[in-house]
Each structure stands twice: as structure tokens, then as C-alpha cells.
Amino acid sequence: MSKVKSSETVKVVIRCRPLNRKEEAAAAVGGIVEMDMRLGQVVLWNPHGPPGEPRKTFTFDSVYDPSSKQRDLYDETVRPLIDSVLDGFNGTIFAYGQTGTGKTYTMQGVWLEPERRGVIPNAFEHVFTQISRSSADRQYLVRASYLEIYREEIRDLLDPNMHAPHVPNVHTHTYRTLELRESPESGVYVRDLTSCVCKSVKEIQELMNLGNQVRSVGATDMNEHSSRSHTLFLITVECSLPGPDGRQHIRVGRLNLVDLAGSERQAKTGAIREDGSLLAEEKQRLLGEKERMMGDLKKEWDATEQLTAKYKVLYTHTHARTHAHTHTHTHGVVSA
Ligand code: ADP
Ligand code: MG
């Protein structure tokens, strides 16, 4: 099993789902793909190509073949990121790939079957287990938001107006669309997004179910809808812990769990180019953002140093954090 390098902040992981029955019937004898989980490599070949045509090898931070288990992906790739969020870092996991390649399976899976539970339910469990095991002098506050981007509009899936009993027919109720804003303090954020405090796995699951109801009742065809909608579940973990100065310090970590719309639909609207270059661009953008954050951090740190030098006081910087991002790139087998 390939090990994800823990020092890197942006990781690209490939998962290949098993063929379904129809694909199996149409698949080329001998297949077209091989995955080496130890080396983190995907090898592709053309079954109709001339003899001796070289195979193409691609290397990623990790690869998961069709026999891989939800738990393996979680433990190796996701768990370290969630631990960082609990330590006050920001983290993002997003699934990217064509419709039907296993994004939702990877992110959600089958909630009622422990073996087939995906990233999101496992992350819920993980966050609350870690909190329950933490020392008594730490206090945590977990808040969740759930939103969907559908046809370029941002919809708040936890909008109390959508769930209020006075809304007689949610089908006719119009979504309030939200705006994306940016501020120097909090970076990019969605204005007026509902945020709900959750005290247990049960509560956070209920919130997700509530949000899912809003998604599905608004849609005439749920398959069509989910292949065009990006869903984002955001968890903010605030921890108040005593510092060496004897005072309480607040540390905040944010986890973004993203199930993207199918990439082929996006290609038509031009948001993602045909060659799938979004990932490369996004990685570049995130690295740029990381540089910027590191710069900010350094400035803050320098200011702290000056402060300690000037007043000779002991000051621990408890807000230091940077962005750690993981991308889960899910991929289906193209049957030849
Ligand atoms: P997407 O969200 O990318 O459109 P889905 O997650 O809905 O794709 O997956 C398409 C189908 O393949 C679903 O029926 C799903 O249960 C199945 N599937 C996806 N990944 C796996 C996997 N790793 N193991 C078994 N079945 C899978
Ligand atoms: Mg999906």
C-alpha cells in the first residue's frame, strides 16, 4: 500500500472504481489499466494499439485500485488531514472526476454499512471521537454549514427558511442565493451562510440529512441534478485551550468536504478544459495561496517576536495556521 507523504500540503490521489456489469461485458480482454498501490502508479495501454506500443505510466501521491476499501483510503489519506484540522489547520478534500466514476461513493458511500462508509461519515466519527478523548482543559465548538453550487448559484442547504414549518410546499419555495466574498481576515467566504453548532455525530448527520432533503425536493431528476451540482460541507472546529501564560487561547481549524459535479459537464461550460487541466491549475493556485499564507504567517510571527523582545513577556502564538489541502481525484475505468 502506498504511503502518502506527510510533508506535502497538496496531494493528488487517484481512485479507480470496479467495473459494473455492463462495463465488464464490454471491457477489452486483458484490460487497459493497472495500478501499483505501492509505487502510487497508474499504467495505461491501448489494447488496439500496434504491438510494442509503450505503456503510459502516471505517478501520484497515492493510488487506490478497484479492490481498495473505503477504510484504507480514509486511514492513509484522510485521517492525517482531519487530525491537522483538530490542531487548528485548514483542510480541503475534494473529489473530482466524470459522472459515474465514484466521487459520491468515495465522499459519502453507504452510510448504514460500516465497511462502505465514505470520507464524510468517517470524518464525522473521527472528529467527535477525538474531541471526546481530549483532555478536560480543552473545550471544543464544532459548527457545520452545507451548501450547493448549482448553475453558478450558491444555495444554502441549511437555510432555516427552507426548513421552517410555515413553508407549505418546498417545491415552490425559491432558494435564496448567496454571494461569495473575500476579506483579508477570513479569506474567501460565503456571506450569510447558515452555520449550526453540532455536539455529536448524530447531530451533524441530521444536519446533512436536512440539507440533502432540500437538494432532492428541488430537483425533478436527481441524477441530472447531482451531476451538475457541487456540494460543499464545511466544518469549523474551534478549540479553547490554556496557554503557557495561563490564559485560554482559541485555535480554529476548517474542513471543507467537496463533492464536485461531473467534470465532463463542466468541460461544456468551459469551467474545466477538455484536457482536465483544472487540477493542475487548482494545485498551482493552492500553492500560491499557501505561499501567501506562509508570508502572512511570517509577518505575524515577526510582529510577535518584536512584541516579545519589546515587552519581555512570554507570548505563545496559538493562532498560527496555514492551509493544508488534499484533493481526492476519483477516476473510473474507461472500457475499450
Ligand atoms: P459520481 O458521484 O462520480 O457520479 P458515484 O459515486 O455515484 O459516481 O458512483 C457510480 C456508481 O458506482 C454507483 O452505483 C456507486 O455505488 C458505484 N461505485 C463507485 N465507486 C465504487 C467503489 N469503489 N466500489 C464499489 N462501487 C462503487
Ligand atoms: Mg455524484
The ligand minimizing its distance to the Cα of 226 is 2
Domain shared by 18 and 88, yes or no: no
Q: Is the pLDDT of residue 284 over 50?
A: yes
Domain shared by 31 and 132, yes or no: no
Pairing of strands 323-331, 90-96: parallel
Domain shared by 41 and 128, yes or no: no
Answer yes or no: are the C-beta atoms of 114 and 121 closer than 8 Å: no
**Candidate of 14, 15, 17, 67 to mutate for ligand 1, largest count of ligand atoms within 8 Å of Cβ:** 17
Is ligand 1 within 6 A of the CB of residue 328?
Answer: no
pLDDT digits (tens, 9 = 90+) for 241-251: 998 998 999 99
Domain shared by 91 and 207, yes or no: yes
Highest mean pLDDT among 114-128, 206-220, 224-238, 239-253: 114-128
Q: Which of 68, 94, 120 is the last residue of a domain?
A: 68
pLDDT confidence bin for 177, thresholds 50/70/90? confident
Q: How far is the CA of 95 from the centre of ligand 2 (A)?
A: 9
Measured from the CA of 107, which atom of ligand 1 is nearest?
6
DSSP assignment, residue 4? Answer: P
pLDDT confidence bin for 6, thresholds 50/70/90? low
Beta bridge partners of 12: 327
Answer yes or no: are the C-beta atoms of 333 and 45 closer than 8 Å: no
Beta bridge partners of 250: 240
Least confident of 65-74, 248-257, 278-287: 278-287
Q: Is the pLDDT of residue 325 over 80?
A: no
Interatomic CA distance for residues 14 and 23, integer angstroms: 20
pLDDT confidence bin for 277, thresholds 50/70/90? low
Does residue 284 lie in a domain region? no
Please list, in sequence order, all residues whose beta carbon lies within 8 angstroms of the beta carbon of residue 287, skipping any fewer than 6 positions away. Answer: 10
- Residue 336: half-sphere exposure toward Cβ, Cα within 13 Å: 12
Interatomic CA distance for residues 103 and 286, integer angstroms: 21
Does residue 119 lie in a domain region? yes
Does residue 14 lie in a domain region? yes
The residue that leads in pLDDT, 224 or 89, is: 89
Domain shared by 56 and 107, yes or no: no
Percent of the chain at pLDDT exceeding 90: 52
Tell me, yes or no, if the pTM score tops 0.95: no
- Cα torsion at 201, 12, 298, 321 (round to 10°)? 0
| The three three-digit cell numbers of residue 296, written as one number | 502572512
Q: What is the pLDDT of residue 308?
A: 41
Domain shared by 80 and 30, yes or no: no
Domain shared by 39 and 150, yes or no: no
Across the chain, mean pLDDT equals 80
Q: Which of 68, 86, 116 is the last residue of a domain?
A: 68
Q: Is the pLDDT of residue 319 over 90?
A: no
DSSP assignment, residue 327? Answer: E
Q: Which of 43, 68, 93 is the last residue of a domain?
A: 68
What residues pack around ion ligand 2 (CB closer than 5 A)?
A: 103-104, 226
Answer yes or no: are the C-beta atoms of 135 and 213 closer than 8 Å: no
**Sign of the dihedral through C-alpha 180, 146, 255, 198:** positive
Q: What is the pLDDT of residue 103?
A: 93
Is ligand 1 within 6 A of the CB of residue 243?
Answer: no
Domain shared by 215 and 135, yes or no: yes
Answer yes or no: are the C-beta atoms of 268 and 101 closer than 8 Å: no
**DSSP symbols for 196-265:** EEE-SHHHHHHHHHHHHHHHHHT-SSHHHHHHHEEEEEEEEEEEEEE-TTSSEEEEEEEEEEEEPPPHHH
Q: Is the pLDDT of residue 265 over 90?
A: no
Is ligand 1 within 6 A of the CB of residue 105?
Answer: yes
Answer yes or no: are the C-beta atoms of 226 and 216 closer than 8 Å: no
Q: Residue 135: which CATH number?
A: 3.40.850.10
**DSSP symbols for 11-66:** EEEEEEPPP-HHHHHHPPTT-SEEEETTTTEEEE--TTSPTTPPPEEEE-SEEE-T
Nearest CA to ligand 1 atom 16: 105
**Sign of the dihedral through C-alpha 108, 130, 291, 12:** negative
pLDDT confidence bin for 41, thresholds 50/70/90? very high
Q: What is the pLDDT of residue 320?
A: 29
Q: Cα 272 vs. chain centroid, distance in angstroms?
A: 18
Nearest CA to ligand 1 atom 23: 17
Least confident of 90-94, 158-162, 269-273, 278-282: 269-273
If you count them, how many residues does the chain have?
336
Nearest of 216, 241, 212 to residue 319 by alpha carbon: 241
Q: How far is the CA of 296 from the centre of ligand 2 (A)?
A: 36
**Candidate of 105, 115, 330, 331 to mutate for ligand 1, largest count of ligand atoms within 8 Å of Cβ:** 105
Longest dimension (CA), the chain: 75
pLDDT confidence bin for 321, thresholds 50/70/90? very low
Does residue 144 lie in a domain region? yes
DSSP assignment, residue 171? Answer: T
Query: Containing H/E element for 194?
Result: none
Annotated binding site for ATP: 97-104
Interatomic CA distance for residues 282 and 291, integer angstroms: 14
Does residue 43 lie in a domain region? yes
Does residue 142 lie in a domain region? yes
Domain shared by 151 and 27, yes or no: no
Query: Containing H/E element for 8?
Result: none
Measured from the CA of 98, which atom of ligand 1 is nearest?
3
pLDDT digits (tens, 9 = 90+) for 130-147: 999 999 999 999 999 999
Q: How far is the CA of 325 from the centre of ligand 2 (A)?
A: 21
Domain total in the chain: 2
Q: Is the pLDDT of residue 316 over 90?
A: no
Q: Is the pLDDT of residue 194 over 90?
A: yes
Domain shared by 146 and 220, yes or no: yes
Q: How far is the CA of 232 from the centre of ligand 2 (A)?
A: 12
Domain shared by 191 and 221, yes or no: yes
Domain shared by 59 and 81, yes or no: no
Does residue 179 lie in a domain region? yes
What range does the domain containing 35 cover?
Answer: 8-68
pLDDT digits (tens, 9 = 90+) for 46-99: 888 898 999 999 999 999 999 999 999 999 999 999 999 999 999 999 999 888
